[in-house]
Amino acid sequence: MIPMHLGHLNPAEQVLVLLIAFGPFLLAAGVVVYLRRHAVEDEED
């Protein structure tokens, strides 16, 4: 499916759009995983 209002995007532009769209969610998930791991380590000590 090609969004007609954008026209055809070259591969670099497609990667950029995906990073902008999903990057914040991936970053937030990474922060949650990181903090949970450190919280579990703190509880074990």
Domain limits, the chain: 20-45
Q: Name the pLDDT band for 45 (thresholds 50, 70, 90).
A: low
pLDDT interval class at 3 (50, 70, 90): low
Q: Name the residue with tokens 């055809």.
A: 8
Q: What is the Cα gyration radius of the chain? A: 18
Percent of the chain with pLDDT over 90: 62
What pLDDT score was predicted for residue 2? 61
Q: How far apart are CA 31 and CA 11, in angstroms?
A: 28
Three-class SS of residue 40? helix
**Averaged pLDDT, 25-45:** 90
Separation between Cα atoms, residue 2 and residue 27, nearest integer Å: 27
